[in-house]
Amino acid sequence: MTELGLFPLPLVLLPTEQVPLHIFEERYQELIGECLERDTEFGLLYADDDGIREIGTSAAVIEVITRFEDGRLNIVVEGRERFRLAELTSGRSFQTGAVSPLVDDEDPAGREEVERARELFSQLRELTGAEVEIPAAEEPQLSYALASRVELEPEIKLELLAERSERVRLERVCELLEGAAVTVSRRRRAAERAATNGRVHLD
């Protein structure tokens, strides 16, 4: 069990995912400042009207984009390891907590599942025209590498965070990719029909 500086936010950070953050509150300026000075990580936990969730992700600052004169920062963070919050602690200006690592079970995905997931992601990428790199098959947690490249609702990302089987996670990601591809295809067909008023143009 270790104590970690916490940053509760209304977003879920997956391992390997990179997100920009604007740091404006003084207490979090202090937290991020310490992380930069000591090359340490902080814990990002999803928080909403129902409170703070117990499973989060350690985050590392990988880039400082802008430093403002008043102390505010624009940074990019990357998700690292998952953790479970045992209890909130106090004594600092920012929130802290006692946390323990959340480790996967020994249930890896098979080669066929890996290739299917990468193929589905490739199809979705082509449908959307997104210039997003396809993760390598050798990624130790391919499910997170794929999910972090797709827009997902917080509830779904929380579900993926809590799952300790890479095989089960990858199966779920495949379902999500298939569903996203269907949605994109339907929207495209609807847009095409709307552009022609549902009629065939002869000229």
- 8, β-bridge pairs: 45
Is the pTM for the entire model greater than 0.85? yes
Helices (H), 51-153: 111-128, 142-147
For 101-141, the pLDDT digits (tens) are 999 999 999 999 999 999 999 999 999 888 899 999 999 89
- Which amino acid appears at position 108 of this protein? P
Which domains occur in the chain, in start order? Answer: 2-101 (2.30.130.40), 111-195 (no CATH)
pLDDT band (50, 70, 90) for residue 74? very high
pLDDT of residue 198: 57
For 190-203, the pLDDT digits (tens) are 777 776 665 555 44
